[in-house]
Amino acid sequence: MTLLAAIAVPIVVGLWLVLAGRQLPRTSAWSVGMVAALATLGLLVAALVTDSAFDREWVGVLGLRLALGVDGISAPLLVLTAAIGVLVVLLARSNLPTGGSPSLYLGAVLMATGGAFATFAARDAILFFVAFELVLIPVWLLIHRFGDPHDAAARKDAGLRFILFTVSGSVLMLIGILVLVGSAGTSHFDVLVDAGAALPLGTQTLVAALLVTGLAVKVPVFPLHTWLPAAHATAPTGGSVILAAILLKMGTYGLVRLPIASVPDGFARVAPTLAVLGTIGIIWAGLVCLVENDAKRLIAYSSIAHMGFVVLGLASGTVVGLQAALIGNIAHGVISALLFVVIGGLKDRWGAVRFDAPLPALREHAPRLGFVLILGLAAGLGLPGLAAFWGELFAVYGAWTSGLGPGLLLRVCAAVAALGAVLAAAYALRVGRLLWVGEAQTPVEPTAPTETSGAERLVLAALVVATVTIGLVPHVVWSVTSADASALLAGVLGR
Amino acid sequence: MIEDSVSLHLPIVATILIPFAAALLGLAAARRSIVKDITVIAGFLAVVSAAYRLVTISEPATGSGVPVLTVSSGIPEIALGEVTIPFDLAVGSRTALISLVVAVVTLAVLAFATWYLAEDDRLGVFLATVSLFAAAMQLVVHSGDLVLTLVGWEVMGYCSYLLIGHWSRSGRARRAAYKSFIVTRLADVGFVLGVVILASGARSTGYTEVVTHWSANTGAALTLAISLLVIAVLGKSAQFPFQDWLADAMAGPTPASALIHAATMVAAGTVVLAQLRLLLALAPAAQWLLAVSVAVTMILGAVLAIGQSDLKTLLAWSTVSQVAVMLAPLALVADLEGSAAALFHMYSHALFKALLFLTIGWLSLSIHSTLAARLQGTAGRRLSQAAVVIGFAALAGLPLVVGGWSKELVVATVAGAGAGARGGLLLVALLVTVVLTALYATRAALILVRPGQQKADEDLTTGELRAVVATRAALKEAQHKLDAAPFTPRAVIVLLTVATAFGGIVLLAFEDLLGVPAHVSVLWLTVTLVLALAGIALAWVLSKDGDLALRLGSRQPLWDQGFQADRAYLALVATPVLAAARAVRALDTQVVDAPVRALARQAVRLSDRAGDAQTSRPLTAAALVGIGLVVLLALGVVITLGGGA
C-alpha cells in the first residue's frame, strides 16, 4: 500500500494542480507541490524499508493486474526519481518558467514523477506500458508550454518531434509486449522471466527486436536520437532535468526489464547490433559536441554519448555490464541534471549560452557556479572519484568479456568506446575553456548577476554531493543492485 | 594477513587520507588564510606518517611476489558478477620510501607556494589542488589494486590540468592545460583497456591475483595489455610521441611544475611499471615499445634542453629526458634490480628536480621572467649558488650527489643485462644522454652563477633572447628582493639542497629499502664520469662568449617550439578530428534528422491548418498522435505477420 500511495500522491496532487489549481498564487502552488514531492520521497523510503508490494486484479478481461513491487534493479531509479522530483520543485522556487500558471508547471512535474514511479514499480508488462505512456503527456506539456519563451517555432517543433518519436517507439514496444504476452500467456514480470525464456528462438528474436527498437527511441540510441537535442534546447531547466534524469532512464530500465529479463535468447541475437549502435552513439555524439555551439544542445548530445556506454553495458549480456549500466544510469541522471541546472540557470540570466560568441568567465564572475560547472564537467568526462567513472570503466569491461556477437566485434566496441572517452574529455574541457576560464580576447562582463543563489544553489549542492558520493562509494548503488542483477542474468549465463 | 597488519595499515591510509582531507578542507576554506595552515600542516603530518611507516618497516622487499604484502584499504570489496575489486593496498619498503619522497616534495612545494603565490587571489584553491594531487599520487604508490591505481592516475591528470591552468587569465596557460589533459587522456585509453584486459583474465583487479594469473598465462593477450599500459605510461611521463605537453605545461606556476615533475605525474609511470615488473618482463614486445620510445626521448629531450631560451622550459625538457633514463632499466630488465635502479633514479630526480624548479622560481620571482637572458647571474649569493651548483651537478650525474649514484646504477644495470639489440640501443642512448645532460646542466648553471656580462643588445641574436636583457638596475633590485625572502622559502631550498647533496649516500646506507644490494661498479662509474666531464668541458668551451644557445643563431626558435611537435599534433590529430566532427554534425542535421524534420514540418502545417491554434492545439496534436498510432499499428501488424510467417 505504501508503494501505491507513493505513486498516487504525485499523480493525484499533480492532476489537481493542473485541473483545479490554476488560480492558486505562486507560493501556495509551490508549497502544495513541495509537500507532495516530499511526501512522495517519504512514502518511497517507507516503501523501501517495509519492502512494500501490491498486487490486485485491475482489468480482468485483459488479464491486467495492478502489480507493484520494488527490487534491486528499480530501487535506485525510484530513489533517483523521487529525489529529482523534490529538486525540480525546489528549483521552481527561484527559477519558475513562464508559459503557463505555476500550478500547471508544478502539476506537470508531479505527474511526470508519479508516472515514472509507476513505470519503475510496475511488475506487469501492460501496466508498465500504460505508466510509460502516462509520463509522455506532462513532459510534452513541459516542453511545449514552458519551453524557451523566445522561440515559439522551436518549441512547437521540439514538442511535436518528442511526441512523434516517442509515440512511434511506444507503438513498436506495445506490439512487442503484445506478442510477448500473447505467446507467453502472462504479463506478470515474475512469471514472464520463465515463460518468456521458454519461447522459441524466432519469437524471442522478434519480440526482442521490437522491444529494443521501441525502447531505443527513449534512451535514445543512435540513429533515433535527434529528438533529444531539440527537446533539451527548448525545455525549461526543470523539464531538461526530468528528461535527462527520469525519462531516458525509463528507456534503459525497460531494456533491462523486458527484453533482457524476459526473452534473453532473443536479446542475445539483437545485442551485437545494439552494442554497435551504442558505440557509434558514443563517437557520433562526442564528435558533435566538439563543434556544437548551443550549450544545452551540447549537454543533450553528451547525454547520448553517456547513454551509449549504458547501452553497451546492457548489450554485453554480462553481469558486469549490467551492473555498469545500472550505476551508469544513476550517474548520468545526477550529472546531467547538475549540468542542465547550471546551463539552464545561466540561460535564464543571460538570455542564451552560446559558444560562438565570447562568454564571461564563470571562474571570475561566479566562482561557486564555476566550481560546480568544472566538477560537473569532470564527472561528465568520467573522472574517477565522481559518479560516471564506474559505469564507463565496467561497461568497457562487460563488452570486452562478452561472448555475444561474431568474432571480436564487441571487443572492438569496447576499444572504440574507450577512445570515445577521450572525446568526452575534449568536449568537456572545451566547455571549460569557453565558459569556465573564458577564451575572450578582452574579458567579457556578464550582462546580469551570474552567481548562483537561493533555491538553485541548494539544488546544485545536493547534486554535487550525490555526484561525489556515488563516485567515492559506488557501493551505495551496487550493494542494492548486486543480487538482482546476478539473478536476472542467471538464465543467460546458465545456458 | 599478518599480526601487526593494523599497525601497518594505519600510517599508510593516513598518508593517503591526510592530504585528501586537506584538499577538501582547503577547498571549503579556499578564501580564508587558514587554508595555508591546513594544507601545510597536513603536508607535514603526511611526512610524519610516511616517515613513521618507513622507520617501522620490518620486512625487506625481497621475494618475487608483487606486491610483498597487501592490506585492506578499509573500502569494502566489491564483487561485480565475475570480477572482484578488492581495493587492497600494497605494503613494502619501496612503497614506504617512495611515499616519503612524495610527501617531502609535496610539503616543500606547499610551503614554498605559500610564499611564492602570496599575492595570488586563488592561492587557497592552488594549495587544495596540490594536496589532492599528492593524495592521488600516494594512492598510486600504495595501490595494490588496478582500479585504485587508475583512480589515482586519472585524478592526477585532472589536478595537473587545474594546476597548469591555474593562471587562467593567460591564454597560454589555458591552452597548455587543455593540451596536457587531452594528450595524457588519449594515452590513458591504454590504461583503461589494459586494466580491463588484465582484470578480465584474473577475474580480479587486485595486483596479487592479476600477477598470479598472468604469470601462468602469458601470450598475446598479456602482451597487448602490457603494451597498452606502456602507452599510458608514455603519455603521463611525456615520452615520445607524447612529449610535447610537458614543455607547454611550464605556463603553470613554478611550484606546480616542481610537483608535477619531481614526485608525481610524470614519475607515476615508473612506479606503476615497477609494481607490475613481473608482467612487464613476460611481455618483451611491450618492453621493446618502451625501449624505443625512451631511447628516442632521452636524447630528444636532452637536445631540446640545450637550446632553450627559457630556463624553466630547459628543466621541463630535462625532465622528459631524465624520466626516459628512469624507465630505461625497466625496458630491459624488469626484475628486482631493474626496478630498483628505476626507483632509485626516481628518488634522486624527485629531490634534485624539486630543488632546481623551486630555485628557479625563487630567483625569477622578483624579475618576473624565467628567460635565460634575464636570469643571467641571478644566483649571486651563497645559498642560491650552492643550490644551483649542487642541483645541476646532480642533474649532470656527477658522483657523490644524489643523481650521480642513481645514474651510475641505471647505466650499470643496463650494461650488465648483457647483449642484445635492446640492451645495445638503450646503453648507447644512455651514454649519449650522459654527455648531453652534462652539457646543458653546465650551460644552465653557468648562466645562473656567472655574473651577467653587460652586453649590447645587438650581441643577442635571436628571438626572445634578443628581446630581453637584464639591466644592472633590475638585477640589483632582484638581489635585494632575494635577500629579503623570508625564512620559509630559504628553509625549503636549504632542505632540498642538503637532500640532493647527501640523499644518495643516505639511501645507499639503507640499501635494503630498495630490495637489492647497491653495487657500485667502478667501470661504469668511471665511464659515466669521463663522459659527464667531457660534456661539462664542452659546455665550458662553448660558453666562453656567453650563453652557448646563442650559437644556434636563427635556428634557435625551433628549439623553443620543441621541434614543432605541436604542429604535428594539430595536423595529425586535432585537425582531422575536428573535420570529422563538422562532417558528423552536418550528417546529423541533414541526413539522420531529415526525414523526421520533414515529418514534423508536415505535422505542424497540418496543425496550423486545422484552425485557431489558441483553442484547438491540444486537440489537433492528439488527432495527429492518433493518426500516427494507426499508421504505426498497421506497420506493426505487417511486421508481426511477416515475422510469424
- The predicted-structure confidence for B507-527, as pLDDT tens digits, reads as follows 877 777 777 766 678 888 899
Band (B420; pLDDT cuts 50, 70, 90): confident
* B6 in A contact zone (CB under 8 Å): no
Is the CB of A396 less than 8 angstroms away from the CB of B196? yes
* Torsion-angle region of B225 (φ positive above 0: left; ψ -120 to 50: alpha; else: beta): alpha
In a mutagenesis test of the B interface, which of A288, A371, A374 is the best target, namely the one with the most B β-carbons within 10 Å? Answer: A288
- Tell me the pLDDT tens digit for each residue of B16-64: 999 999 999 998 888 888 888 899 999 999 999 888 888 887 655 444 4
Give pLDDT, residue B462.
47
Is the CB of B182 less than 8 angstroms away from the CB of A425? yes
**Using CB atoms and an 8 Å cut-off, which of residues 145-164 of chain A contact chain B?**
156-157, 159-161, 163-164
- Of A31-35, A331-335, B541-545, least confident by mean pLDDT is B541-545
Give the span between the Cα atoms of B194 and B502, in whole angstroms: 39
Give pLDDT, residue A485.
87
- Which residues on B lie below 8 Å from A157 (Cβ)? 600, 604
- Of A10-19, A185-194, A270-279, least confident by mean pLDDT is A185-194
Residues A14/A48, Cβ–Cβ less than 8 Å = no
- Tell me the pLDDT tens digit for each residue of A295-311: 999 999 999 999 999 99
Residues A296/A302, Cβ–Cβ less than 8 Å = no
As a whole number, the mean pLDDT across chain A is 90
Q: What percent of chain A has pLDDT over 90?
A: 61
Give pLDDT, residue B619.
54
Give pLDDT, residue B29.
87
Give pLDDT, residue B456.
43
Who among B80, B599, B629 is closest to A394 (CB)? B80
Give the span between the Cα atoms of B578 and A105, in whole angstroms: 40
Distance from CA of B9 to the nearest CA of A (A): 20
Cell of B415: 650494461
Question: Which sequence spans correspond to the domains of chain A?
Answer: 2-494
Burial class from Cβ neighbours inside 10 Å (0-12, 13-18, 19+) for residue B643 reads middle
In a mutagenesis test of the A interface, which of B84, B147, B196, B605 is the best target, namely the one with the most A β-carbons within 10 Å? Answer: B196
Give pLDDT, residue B475.
59
Q: Per this entry, what is the length of chain A?
A: 495
Give pLDDT, residue A349.
87
User: What contacts A177, CB < 8 A, 6 or more positions away?
Assistant: A125, A126, A128, A129, A187, A211, A258
Cell of A481: 543492485
Who among B154, B632, B644 is closest to A384 (CB)? B154
Is the CB of B604 less than 8 angstroms away from the CB of A226? no
Which residues, listed in sequence order, are joined to residue A57 by a DSSP beta bridge?
A65
- Which residues on B lie below 8 Å from A175 (Cβ)? 633, 636-637, 639-640
User: What contacts A175, CB < 8 A, 6 or more positions away?
Assistant: A210, A214, B633, B636, B637, B639, B640
- Which residues on A lie below 8 Å from B197 (Cβ)? 400
- Which residues on A lie below 8 Å from B158 (Cβ)? 378, 383
- Tell me the pLDDT tens digit for each residue of B59-77: 554 444 444 577 888 888 9
Give pLDDT, residue A80.
95
- Which residues on A lie below 8 Å from B577 (Cβ)? 287, 290, 423, 426
Residue B508: other Cβ atoms inside 10 A? 15
Residue A492 has pLDDT above 60, yes or no: no
Band (B628; pLDDT cuts 50, 70, 90): low
Is the CB of A400 less than 8 angstroms away from the CB of B196? yes
Residues A494/A486, Cβ–Cβ less than 8 Å = no
In a mutagenesis test of the B interface, which of A167, A210, A225, A287 is the best target, namely the one with the most B β-carbons within 10 Å? Answer: A287
Residue B443 has pLDDT above 60, yes or no: yes
Give the span between the Cα atoms of A326 and A77, in whole angstroms: 9
Give the span between the Cα atoms of A316 and B254, in whole angstroms: 47
**Using CB atoms and an 8 Å cut-off, which of residues 130-169 of chain B contact chain A?**
147, 150-151, 154-155, 158, 161, 165, 168-169
pLDDT higher for A417 or B364? A417
- Which residues on A lie below 8 Å from B171 (Cβ)? 439
In a mutagenesis test of the B interface, which of A181, A437, A480, A492 is the best target, namely the one with the most B β-carbons within 10 Å? Answer: A437
Dihedral sign, CA of B399, B404, B405, B409?
A: negative
Give pLDDT, residue A494.
42
Residue B92 has pLDDT above 70, yes or no: yes
* B181 in A contact zone (CB under 8 Å): yes
- Tell me the pLDDT tens digit for each residue of B473-518: 565 666 666 666 678 888 899 999 999 888 888 887 777 777 776 6
| Cis status of the peptide bond prior to B489, with omega within 30 of 0 | no
Give pLDDT, residue B470.
46
Q: Which of B482, B487, B456, B488 is nearest to B471 (CA)?
A: B456
* Torsion-angle region of B420 (φ positive above 0: left; ψ -120 to 50: alpha; else: beta): left
Dihedral sign, CA of A200, A202, A205, A210?
A: negative
Largest CA distance in chain B: 99
* Three-state SS annotation for B395-437: HHCCCCCHHHHHHHHHHHHHHHCCCCHHHHHHHHHHHHHHHHH
Is the CB of A383 less than 8 angstroms away from the CB of B592? no
Is the CB of B83 less than 8 angstroms away from the CB of A397? yes
Distance from CA of A230 to the nearest CA of B (A): 11
Is the CB of A439 less than 8 angstroms away from the CB of B174? yes
Is the CB of A394 less than 8 angstroms away from the CB of B584? no
* B610 in A contact zone (CB under 8 Å): no
* B634 in A contact zone (CB under 8 Å): no
Give pLDDT, residue A422.
94
* B428 in A contact zone (CB under 8 Å): no
pLDDT higher for A452 or B612? A452
Q: Which of B241, B129, B236 is nearest to B180 (CA)?
A: B236
* A408 in B contact zone (CB under 8 Å): no
Distance from CA of B373 to the nearest CA of A (A): 29
* A476 in B contact zone (CB under 8 Å): no
* A182 in B contact zone (CB under 8 Å): no
Distance from CA of A341 to the nearest CA of B (A): 22
**Using CB atoms and an 8 Å cut-off, which of residues 489-508 of chain B contact chain A?**
none
Residues B206/B86, Cβ–Cβ less than 8 Å = yes
As a whole number, the mean pLDDT across chain B is 84
Give pLDDT, residue B67.
47
Give pLDDT, residue B616.
46
Give pLDDT, residue B453.
58
Q: What is the mean pLDDT of residues B236-259?
A: 92
**Using CB atoms and an 8 Å cut-off, which of residues 31-90 of chain B contact chain A?**
76, 78-83
Is the CB of B151 less than 8 angstroms away from the CB of A485? no
Give pLDDT, residue B615.
47
- Of A367-376, B134-143, B620-629, least confident by mean pLDDT is B620-629
Distance from CA of A54 to the nearest CA of B (A): 30
**Using CB atoms and an 8 Å cut-off, which of residues 93-112 of chain A contact chain B?**
none
Minimum Cα–Cα distance from B167: chain A residue: A437
* A290 in B contact zone (CB under 8 Å): yes
* A427 in B contact zone (CB under 8 Å): no
Residue B391 has pLDDT above 60, yes or no: yes
* B21 in A contact zone (CB under 8 Å): no
pTM: predicted TM-score of the whole model, two decimal places: 0.91
Band (B618; pLDDT cuts 50, 70, 90): low
- Which residues on B lie below 8 Å from A291 (Cβ)? 578, 581-582, 585
Is the CB of B168 less than 8 angstroms away from the CB of A288? no
Give the span between the Cα atoms of B482 and B378, in whole angstroms: 9
- Which residues on A lie below 8 Å from B186 (Cβ)? 422
* B411 in A contact zone (CB under 8 Å): no
